[in-house]
C-alpha cells in the first residue's frame, strides 16, 4: 500500500498538464496521459499512451518526442527519462476502468487512483489526465505528428 505521504505535488501536477499540452500542440494526440508512481523504485514516470507505438514502433515515437523536447523544453525538473510511452493495445489499457474517470477527465485536475490492480499490473499511485478507448487509427495522427515535428525542427 502506498504511504499517505506519497502525493502528487502541485508542481508535478501542473507539469503533467504542461507536458500534455506540449505534446498535444506537437500533434502527438495521446490517448492516455498520467503520472505513475512506482513505490519500489520511489520514482514518478509520466506515461503517454499512443497507437503510434503499434504502427511506427516505440523508437520512432520516442525519437520524435525527443525532437519536440529539444525545441520546446519540458517543465523544470522533468527530463525525457521521466517520460514513458505505451501502446493502448496492452491489456492494462484495454481493461482500464474508464467509467471511474468519466466525471473527471477533461478538467484541469487529474483523477487519482491508489493501490489498484488492472490486468495484473499493480499501480501504487496514478494521476490520470486523459484515458480514452482505442479507436481506429487511420494514420492521420501519425502523419500530423510527423509533419508538426518536421516543421518544428525546420524552424
Q: What is the pLDDT of residue 93?
A: 78
Distance CA 129, CA 35 (A): 8
State yes or no: pLDDT of 6 exceeds 70.
no
Q: What is the pLDDT of residue 72?
A: 94
- Residue 16 in domain: yes
Backbone angles phi, psi at 42, to 5 degrees: 50, 50
State yes or no: pLDDT of 133 exceeds 90.
no
pLDDT digits (tens, 9 = 90+) for 70-125: 999 999 999 999 999 999 888 877 777 665 555 444 443 467 777 878 777 788 88
Yes or no: say if 85 and 53 are a contact pair by the CB < 8 Å rule: yes
- Residue 32 in domain: yes
Which span out of 21-35, 90-104, 123-137 was modeled with the highest average pLDDT?
A: 21-35
Q: What is the pLDDT of residue 126?
A: 86
- Residue 5 in domain: no
Give the pTM.
0.85
- Residue 4 in domain: no
- Residue 1 in domain: no
Alpha helices in the chain (DSSP H): 10-25, 52-56, 58-71, 91-94, 140-154
Considering only residues 83 and 139, tell me which one the structure prediction assigns the higher pLDDT. 83
Distance CA 52, CA 126 (A): 23
Q: What is the pLDDT of residue 94?
A: 76
Q: Which domain holds residue 145?
A: 10-154
Number of domains in the chain: 1
Nearest Cα to Cα of residue 68 among 15, 25, 117, 6: 25
- Residue 105 in domain: yes
Q: Give me the percent of the chain exceeding a pLDDT of 70.
A: 84
Backbone angles phi, psi at 52, to 5 degrees: -65, -25
Amino acid at each position: 500500500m502506498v504511504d499517505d505521504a506519497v502525493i502528487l505535488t502541485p508542481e508535478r501536477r501542473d507539469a503533467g498538464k504542461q507536458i500534455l499540452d506540449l505534446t498535444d500542440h506537437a500533434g502527438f494526440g495521446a490517448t492516455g496521459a498520467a503520472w505513475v508512481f512506482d513505490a519500489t523504485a520511489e520514482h514518478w514516470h509520466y506515461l503517454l499512451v499512443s497507437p503510434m507505438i503499434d504502427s511506427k514502433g516505440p523508437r520512432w515515437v520516442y525519437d520524435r518526442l525527443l525532437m519536440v523536447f529539444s525545441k520546446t523544453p519540458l517543465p523544470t525538473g522533468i527530463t525525457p527519462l521521466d517520460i514513458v510511452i505505451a501502446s493502448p493495445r496492452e491489456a492494462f489499457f484495454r481493461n482500464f476502468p474508464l467509467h471511474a474517470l468519466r466525471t473527471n477527465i477533461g478538467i484541469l485536475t487529474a483523477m487519482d487512483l491508489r493501490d489498484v490492480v488492472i490486468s495484473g499490473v499493480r499501480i501504487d499511485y496514478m494521476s490520470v489526465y486523459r484515458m480514452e478507448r482505442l479507436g481506429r487509427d487511420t494514420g492521420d495522427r501519425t502523419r500530423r505528428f510527423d509533419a508538426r515535428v518536421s516543421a518544428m525542427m525546420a524552424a
